[in-house]
Structure 1
Amino acid sequence: MEGDEIEDEEFGFSRNYFLAKELKGSKKSTRKLSDLELVDEQELRAVASSIKPKHENEILSQLKCYKSLYPKWVFDLRCGFGLLMYGFGSKKALLEDFASTALIECAVFVINGCLQSINIKQALLMLAEVLWDQLKTRRKTPRNLPKFQQFSSRSVDELLTFLDESHGEGDDCFVCVIIHNIDGPGLRDSETQQYLARLASCSNIRIIASIDHINAPLLWDKKMVHTQFKWCWYHVPTFAPYKVEGMLFPLILAHSGTSQNAKTAAIVLQSLTPNAQSVFKVLADYQLAHPDEEGMPVNNLYAICRERFLVSSQLTLNSHLTEFKDHALVKTRRHSDGQDCLFIPLPTEALGKLLSELT
C-alpha cells in the first residue's frame, strides 16, 4: 500500500505541474533576428580575426605531442593504410606540418574539401601528372607510361588505372594526397566519395584526410572503410579556429546586402578560368546595355561566345553556366515569348563595379 501511495503522490505532482503550465500559458518573444543591426561581413571578419586566442601554451604543448606520432603515421602510410584525423579544431596546419617535415621524400598533393565545387577529374589529372613527374625525376623507365600530353584526353577510369598500376619492380614511389575536410560540401556526394575510395585503393596513392562533421562516417560503407580507404583513425583535437574553412561560409550576423553579394561574386569569378570570366562578361555587358529586358536568351549568348571563340560547343557553354548557377552568379527565368533567359541577380551599379574589378 505504501508503494501505491507513493506512486499516486508522484503522479499527482506531475499532473499538477503540467496543469499549472497550461493555465499559465506560453509567452512568445517579440524579438526577431531581423531587428539586429547587422554589420558588413568584411568588418565582422576583421573583428573576429583580431580576437586573441586563449590557452596558446596548452595548445602548442598538445601539438608537440602529435609531432611525436609522425614516425608512426609514416609507417602506417608505407604499410598501405590511410590516415583519418578527427577531433575538435582545424587540422589543416597539423596535416601540412606533418607533410612538410615527415613526407619530404614523397610528392604531396592537397585537396581542399571546404571549397564549394571541386572537379574530381581535374584533381585526378593533376595527380597523374605529379606521379609522372616523380617517376621521371627518379629516372625510372616504367612500361606503358603515357606521355605528359596524353593525360588530358584520358577518362577517369584510365587515370585511376595509371595511378594503380605498377611502374617497376621494387618501386616504392607513391603520392601522398592530403584531403582537408573529406566530408566537406564539395566532396560529400556519393559519386565523389566512390571516386575517392577507388583513388585510395590505388597502389601509388596514400590518403591523409580530416573530418569535422559528426555524421562523416555515414559517407562510407564497410567495403570503402576496410578495403579501399583502410583508415587508421587518430583523435587529434587541435582546438584551432576554422579560419580558412570558414572563409567560404557566410556569417549569420553579417549584412548580406548588395555590396556584399558583389564582393562574393568577384571572389568567385577570380577563381574561375579566363574563358569562364569572359562568358560572364558577355552576359553582364548585355544586361547593362539592355536594362529593361528580362534577360539574355541562351541562344544569343551561345552565338556571341562562339563568334568570339570563347566556347567550342553548346556543351562547353552549359558547363560554364552550371558553374555560374551553382555559385548563384546567374539565374534563369522564362521570357514572355517562352524562351529561357539568363540574368545576373545584381543591380546595374553593382554589376558595373564588378565588371570594372574584373577588368
Structure 2
Amino acid sequence: MDLNDGDEDEFGFSRNYFLAKELGGSSRKSARKLSDINIVDEQELRAVSAGIVTKHENEITSLLKSYKSLYSKWVFELRCGFGLLMYGFGSKKVLLEDFASTALTDSGVVVINGYLQSINIKHAVITIAEVLKDQLKTKRRTPTGNISKVQQPFSSQSMDDLLTFLDGSDIDDNNCFVCLIIHNIDGPGLRDCESQHCLARIASCRHVRMVASIDNVNAPLLWNKKMIHTQFSWCWYHVPTFAPYKVEGIFFPLILASGGTAQSAKTASIVLQSLTPNAQSVFRVLGEHQLAHAEDEGMPVSSLYTICRERFLVSSQMTLNSHLTEFKDHELVKTRRNADGQDCLYIPIAPEVLEKLLQEIG
C-alpha cells in the first residue's frame, strides 16, 4: 500500500509539472528584443571602469616579488637555448618587463606588444638584427668577413637574409643573444598562421631567445609539435599574477558598450571578406554611389542593377538579389523609400567609416 501511494504521488507530481510547462508555453511571448536594450556608451563605460579600485594590491605585489627567485633559473634556461612561455590568470606585462630590466642587463632586449591590433614582424626582426650587431661590435668578436657582410642596411634586406644573420653560425660568441619579449603571443595581431610560423623561425635562430606570455586557453592550438619542441623549445611556467589587464584591455571593445564606428567598420570588414569578389564589388558600387550622393536617400535597385550589369558583376536580377539578401542578413545594407516612393538601398555606416571600409576591400 505504501508503494502504491508513492507511485501515485510521483505520477501526480509529474502530471502537474508537464501541465505547468504546457500552460507556460501557451502564454503570449514577450515582444522585447535585444536591440531594445539601452547599452551604455563605450567612453562612459571606460571612464567608470578606470575608476574601479583594484583589490588585494598588497597580495598581488607580494606574489610578483615571489617570482623574482626564479629569475636566475630563467636566465640559465635562456642561455641553454630554451624559450620561456608564461601562462596563468592575470596580466604578465609587469612581470616580464621587470625580469628583462633586472636579469637581462647583459643582453639586448626587444619588446613586441602582441595585444595590439596590427604588428609589423619584419620591423621587429630588423630591430633585433640592429641590437645584435651593436652587441657584436661592443664585444668585438665578429669575424671581419661577417662585419663587411652586414654593412648593408638591414631595412633593405629580405626576411631570409635577416634570419640568416640572426642564426649567425660564423659568429664566435655563442652566448651573445638578443632576448625577444612578446606580450600576448596569442594576441589578435599575431594569431594568424603566417605570423606564428615567422615567430617560430625567429625563435629557432642561434642568437635569439624568446620570452612570451599567453592568456587564451586555446593558445597552444596555434602551434604544431615541431614548432613547440624544436623551434620555440618552450619551458612552460604557471605564473598567475591576478593583475588587471589595464593596458591590454584598452585595445579591445567592451562587451557591455555600444559599438563605435571603429567596431562597426571591423565587423563589416570581416563579413565582406567572407563573401565572393563579385559580392564585394557590388557593395563597392553601392558605397561609392552613397559617398558621391550623400544628400540622396539611397540608390535605387534598378540603378544598381544597371551599373553592375555593365561592369559584368551580375548576369541577372536574381544574382543581384542574392547578393542583396546576403548584405541585408548581415545588416550591411538597408532599404528606405525616397520622396518619390521608390525603394532605395543605403549602407548604415558613417561616411568616413565607409570610405575606410572601401579602401580595405580594395
CA offset digits 1:166-208 (Å, max 9, x no partner): 3433441100000111111111111111111111111100000
Cα 1:70–1:36 change in 2 (3 A) is: same
Cα 1:16–1:115 change in 2 (3 A) is: same
How many equivalent pairs are there? 283
Work out the CA distance in 1 between the residues paired with 2:250 and 2:128.
26
1:1-359 equivalences under 5 Å are 20-25=20-25, 30=32, 32=34, 34-39=36-41, 41-142=42-143, 143-145=145-147, 146-257=149-260, 293=292, 336=307, 338=311, 346-347=350-351
Q: CA RMSD in A?
A: 3.9
What residue identity is the alignment partner of 1:200?
A: A
Work out the CA distance in 1 between the residues paired with 2:225 and 2:113.
25
Check whether the contact 1:164–1:203 (CA below 8 A) recurs between aligned residues: yes
CA offset digits 1:115-160 (Å, max 9, x no partner): 1111222221221112112211222333424334432222212211
What residue identity is the alignment partner of 1:132?
A: K
Q: Structure 1: which 5+ runs fail to align?
A: 1-5, 266-286, 296-332, 352-359
Residue 135 of structure 2 aligns to a residue in which SS?
helix
What residue identity is the alignment partner of 1:236?
A: V
TM-score of the two chains, using structure 2 as the length reference: 0.67
TM-score of the two chains, using structure 1 as the length reference: 0.67
How many angstroms does 1:294 deviate by? 6.2
Residue 196 of structure 1 aligns to a residue in which SS?
helix
Residue 244 of structure 2 aligns to a residue in which SS?
coil
What residue identity is the alignment partner of 2:292?
A: E
Check whether the contact 1:128–1:159 (CA below 8 A) recurs between aligned residues: yes
Q: Mark the structure with the bigger radius of gyration.
A: 2
How many angstroms does 1:33 deviate by? 5.0
Work out the CA distance in 1 between the residues paired with 2:201 and 2:89.
28
Residue 250 of structure 2 aligns to a residue in which SS?
helix
How many angstroms does 1:13 deviate by? 7.3
Q: Structure 2: which 5+ runs fail to align?
A: 1-5, 267-287, 295-303, 314-346, 356-362
Residue 108 of structure 1 aligns to a residue in which SS?
strand
Cα 1:212–1:292 change in 2 (3 A) is: closer
How many angstroms does 1:254 deviate by? 2.8
Check whether the contact 2:39–2:257 (CA below 8 A) recurs between aligned residues: no
Cα 1:170–1:141 change in 2 (3 A) is: closer
CA offset digits 1:67-107 (Å, max 9, x no partner): 11111111111111100000111111110011011111110
Which residue in 2 is equivalent to 1:309? none
Which residue in 2 is equivalent to 1:316? none
Work out the CA distance in 2 between the residues paired with 1:29 and 1:183.
41
Work out the CA distance in 2 between the residues paired with 1:149 and 1:339.
49
Which residue in 2 is equivalent to 1:281? none
What residue identity is the alignment partner of 1:62?
A: L
What residue identity is the alignment partner of 2:32?
A: T
Cα 1:77–1:347 change in 2 (3 A) is: same
Greater shift in the superposed pair: 131-140 or 186-195: 131-140
Greater shift in the superposed pair: 138-147 or 169-178: 138-147
Residue 232 of structure 1 aligns to a residue in which SS?
strand
What residue identity is the alignment partner of 2:52?
A: I
Check whether the contact 1:76–1:82 (CA below 8 A) recurs between aligned residues: yes
Work out the CA distance in 2 between the residues paired with 1:136 and 1:213.
40
Cα 1:119–1:30 change in 2 (3 A) is: same
Check whether the contact 1:111–1:179 (CA below 8 A) recurs between aligned residues: yes
